[in-house]
Homo-oligomer: A and B are copies of this chain.
Amino acid sequence: MRNSNARAESEVVMLREICNVCARCEIRSLAICAALQENEVAALESIMTSRELAPEETLLHEGDKRRRVYSLTSGMLRLSTILFDGRRQITGFLMPGDYLGLADEEVYTTNVEAVAPSVLCSFSVQDMDNLMQRFPKLKERLYLFTRAALRQARDDQIMLGRLAPVEKLASFLLLLSARAKSHQQPDNPVPLPMSRSDIADYLGLTIETVSRSFTKLRTQGLIRLEDAHLVEILDRRALAAVAGIERH
């Protein structure tokens, strides 16, 4: 019994070395994993399981007990909250390298759903807590992510509270472009995996107003819509001016 266990374990180790998922992970430098050295990543990998999501599939419900945390490796997720009468606010889109569960304590405070087919690394909260105790750098990086998320949420407050529809859309497109770039992807034809409805619920608008805002930017020559889900930025400077960037 003991022998067979030991053999099984060593086989697992071998398989890991062959597969070593993390070592071949393309977005490792972006995610929390970057906090760990080459030889330390194995510890993370040993508590990790993989999870795939189809578009529109739900990962987490607001109010559910927070048992697992995640790191997105590919695809796109959305964080959303639904009001009692069906109104929805999307509080953010997650891209590869982003971490899930930054804000939550005992329970999840938002719904999380896939916008595009997505792959995640999944960890039990307890395992991750242990690992963070062992590698303080991991916790440090998570804290860094949390501060960045807070800055982004505050930028969103400005956008939601004080920008006009076209300004909202312009700043949204620039945000997506900037994040694509920071994720080592081309920043110009910007892919929009989410629906107009998702964009509307992020910007605090209706789908019709979003659509009209796209049209305005297009007729002004600032963007080109290859199709509804791929935007080419033609005049970045003018788009930034519309977005009301350059504060004060």
Contact = CB atoms under 8 A, between A and B. Distances in A.
Nearest to A168: B161
B146 A147 contact: yes
Contacts of A153: 150, 153-154, 156-157
Interface string A112-153: 000000000000000000000000000100010011011101
Contacts of A146: 143, 146-147, 150
A13 B161 CA distance: 49
A81 B247 contact: yes
**In the assembly, how many copies of this chain are there?**
2
A104 to B, nearest CB: 7
Given A160-B160, A162-B87, A62 B154 contact: no
Given A157-B160, A160-B204, A147 B102 contact: yes
A227 interface: no
Interface string A31-47: 00000000000000000
Interface of A: 62, 79, 81-85, 87-89, 91-92, 102-105, 109-110, 139, 143, 146-147, 149-151, 153-154, 156-158, 160-162, 201-204, 244, 246-248
